Structure 1
Amino acid sequence: MSGEKASALTASGTKTIFVYGPELKLLGRIESWVSLVWPERYNTYKNVQGAQLELHESTSLQALCRPDRYLWLVGSEHLMRICSAQTSDHRLVVSARDAAYILDERSSLQTLKNFSAETTLRQLVTAMEPWPGVELGDLAEITDTYTGEAAPGSLLDVAEQVCQELDIGFRLRFDPAEKKLLFELYRPLLDRNARYAPQYGNLTDLTYTESTADYKNVVIVVGGDATVTVGAESAAGIARRELVVDAASRTRSSSQTQSDYLESLKALGTQELAKHTQLENFRFTPTDEVMVGKVVAASLPGTDIQAAARITSITLTSQKGENSVSTEIGTPIIRRRT
C-alpha cells in the first residue's frame, strides 16, 4: 500500500513544486524559493501550522500562486491548498493547508454513536457534496469500532476526533497520475526489523525524564459535611504520598442523598489525583527515511528502558538551497526489558 513508503521529504536531491488549479489541472512549476516549510501529518490538521512558501516577488509568480490552488512538492503524497498570498518587502509569502482541510468545508449533521470507524468515515466522504477530484482511496481494512459519540460538525472535526482517539491516520492522498485526491485511513505498525539507535546514525536527541516532584497517590478530600479518601489507600511508608484537598465549601444539599454527596467528593479527589501523577517520559528524534504514522522503537543506552512511539509529523524546512527534516512523535509507550 502507498502508505508504507518512506516520506519524500527525507529523500535527498533537488525539490520541485508543481501548482495545480482547483480542478487539479497543472498550471505551472516552481524550481527555487527563498524558504519553504512543508509539514506532513498523521491525523491532526486543524490549529497547526500548514505549509509556507516564500518567493522572490514577481508578477508571474503572484499570478500563479492564487488562493484555492494547490501546491505539490514532487514525490509527496500530500497536496497543500493555498489559503493566502501576500507581497511584502519584495517577497511573495504563500500560506497553505493540507488538502485534508477540504473536509472542514463539508458537514456531518448526524450524531454518530458506536460505529465502525473506517466504514462510517468513508460513507461520510462518499455522501458529502462533491468536491473536484475527491474520491475514496484504498480500503485499509481497519476494524476498530468507535464507542464514543461524534456530534454534528465538519467532516474534518469528526475524522480528527475519531482517528485521534483510535490512533488511526487519515489523509487525502494525491495521485498525480490520476489527478485525484483519495480519502484513506491508515495505521502502520511497528517494524521489528527496523533498528533505530544513536550508534546507527538514525536516531538523535534521546532524553529520558523521570520525576516524582509533584507525585501524589492518595487524596483526602475534606468536605463541609464529610471526608473521603481516594487512591492507593493501602499504601504505606515511602510508597504513600498524600494530598489534602480543602472542599469545605462543598456541603450536602437538601436534595442530595448522603451517597451522592460522598460520590461527588470522590469525583473531586479523582480529578485532583490525575493532576499529580509520576512523570516518566522518553523522547527521541528518528532521522533517516521515515514515514508519517510509522512506529519507531528506541532503547536508552546503558539501561533496560525501551520506548516505542508513532511519528505524528514530518516537516521539511528548505532555505537557501539547504534542506533539513524534523519529526515529531506521539506519547511514547515505555517498557523495561525483562
Structure 2
Amino acid sequence: MVEIISALTASGHKSICVYDIRLNLLGRIESWVSLVWPERYNVYSDTQGAQLELHDTTALQALCRPDRYLWLVGSDRLMRIVSAQKSDHKLVIAAKDAACILDERGHTDTLSNFAAEETLRSLVSSAAAWPCLELGDAAGLTDTYSGEVKPGSLLKLVEQVCQELDIGFRVRFDQPKAKLLFELFRPKLDPNARYAPQYGNLTDLTYTESITGYKNVCVVVGAEGTATVGAAENTGSARRELIVDATSKKKEGGQSQADYLAALRAQGEQELAKHTRLENFRFTPTGSITVGMVVEASLPGTDIQAAARITSVTLSSQKGENSVSTEIGTPIIRRKQ
C-alpha cells in the first residue's frame, strides 16, 4: 500500500490542478481568496467537502466546471466539483471527495455475514464503470462484517461497514498513472511516533472524569417479581444502586415467570446503560500527520494514556496563511502499568 505524506501539513507554496472527468490536466490555480480542503478516514457523505473561493474571471469560470476534479498538488485525494457560483465578483467552488463517486452507484442485494474487504472490493469492481476508477492493492484485512446492509447507495454501504469495523477507505489519486484507486486501509499505532506538548506536536489536552449519575447495580421491581443486573456482588462504596419501579409491568397472557424476569432484566440493562462513569481524554495532534494514523498521548502528571485515530485532517488557507485542524475518533483510555 502506497502512503503519501500529507500535503496538508507540508510547508511551502501550495497550488491546485484542475482535471477533466478522464483525468486530463486542464489548468492550474496558483492563488485563491480562501480554501478549505478536508481529507477523511471513512465518512464522506453528509459532510463538508472542499470549498474554494477565487477572484472571478472568465477564464476561471470556464476552467472550474461541475464534474471536473481539483487536486491540491501533493495530496493523495481529488475533489470533484459539484457546484460553481458567481457572487460579488467572487467565484465560489464546492467539491466533494472523489470517494463520493460511490454515491453514484448502488447495490440491489441485502448482504450479511461477509468478508469485508473482499466483498467491498468486489462490489466496487462490479459496479458500472466510472472513468479511470479501478481497484488499488488489497490491504489484506481479514475482518468479517456480521451485520446486515440493505440495498442502496454503494457509498452508504461502504461507510456503514468501514465505520463499524474501524476500516478506512479512500479513492486515491495516482497522479503519474492518471488513475483513481479504491482502497481500504487501517494504520496501526506506530510506537516510535511520540506526541506530547513538550514535543510541540500536541495541543488542547483535556481530561474529564465524572461519576455524576453513575450507577453499577440496577434493581427492577416488577408487579410479579424483582430482577437485579450489573455488579450485584459489589458492596460498600463500590456499590452504586439504581432502583427502577416497574410495578405497573405485569405478566402478559401465557408469559412464563422466567420470561417475565428476563424482560425485567432487559429493562434494567437499558436503564443502567444511561448511568455509566464518564471518562474522556481529548487532544489535538499537529505536525506531520496523516488521516487514519493512530496517535497516543499521555496526560502530564498522571498515569493516564489515550490512543485515538485521526478521522480527518483539514487545511484552511486564506490570504497565503495556512492552518491545519484535525479530528480524532473516540480515544481508548488506559493507565500505565
TM (norm. structure 1) is 0.96
Map Cα deviations across residues 282-338 of structure 1 (whole Å, 9 max, x no partner): 111111111111111111111111111111110000011100001111111111111
Letter in 2 for 1:207: T
Aligned residue for 2:36, secondary structure, equals strand
Aligned match of 2:196: 197
Kindly state the Cα deviation for residue 249 of structure 1 after the two structures are TM-superposed: 4.2
Letter in 1 for 2:2: S
Aligned match of 2:39: 40
Deviating 4+ runs (over 4 angstroms): none
Kindly state the Cα deviation for residue 224 of structure 1 after the two structures are TM-superposed: 4.2
Supply the distance in 1 between the matched residues of 2:92 and 2:271 (Cα, whole angstroms).
46
Aligned match of 1:88: 87
Aligned match of 1:182: 181
Going from structure 1 to structure 2, the CA distance change for 1:226 and 1:32 (only over 3 Å counts) comes to: same
Aligned residue for 1:9, secondary structure, equals coil
Q: Percent identity?
A: 71
Supply the distance in 2 between the matched residues of 1:22 and 1:92 (Cα, whole angstroms).
21
Going from structure 1 to structure 2, the CA distance change for 1:257 and 1:105 (only over 3 Å counts) comes to: farther
Map Cα deviations across residues 178-203 of structure 1 (whole Å, 9 max, x no partner): 11110001111111111111111111
Letter in 2 for 1:31: E
Query: Tell me, which stretches of 5 or more residues in structure 2 are unaligned?
Result: none
Q: Does 2:123 align with 1:106?
A: no
**Which shows bigger deviation, 296-305 or 315-324?**
296-305
Q: Does 2:70 align with 1:67?
A: no
Aligned residues: 337
**Which shows bigger deviation, 192-201 or 246-255?**
246-255
Supply the distance in 1 between the matched residues of 2:251 and 2:278 (Cα, whole angstroms).
35
TM (norm. structure 2) is 0.96
Aligned match of 2:77: 78
Supply the distance in 2 between the matched residues of 1:222 and 1:84 (Cα, whole angstroms).
59
Supply the distance in 2 between the matched residues of 1:2 and 1:162 (Cα, whole angstroms).
23
Aligned match of 2:269: 270
Supply the distance in 2 between the matched residues of 1:85 and 1:304 (Cα, whole angstroms).
51
Supply the distance in 2 between the matched residues of 1:88 and 1:263 (Cα, whole angstroms).
63
Aligned match of 1:24: 23
Output aligned runs, 1:214-253, within 5 Å: 214-253=213-252
Query: Tell me, which stretches of 5 or more residues in structure 1 are unaligned?
Result: none
Aligned residue for 2:129, secondary structure, equals coil
Aligned residue for 1:146, secondary structure, equals strand
Letter in 2 for 1:315: T
Supply the distance in 1 between the matched residues of 2:145 and 2:238 (Cα, whole angstroms).
37
Supply the distance in 1 between the matched residues of 2:70 and 2:264 (Cα, whole angstroms).
55
Output aligned runs, 1:150-165, within 5 Å: 150-165=149-164
Aligned match of 2:2: 2
| Structural RMSD (CA) | 1.4
Aligned residue for 1:33, secondary structure, equals coil
Q: Does 2:98 align with 1:122?
A: no
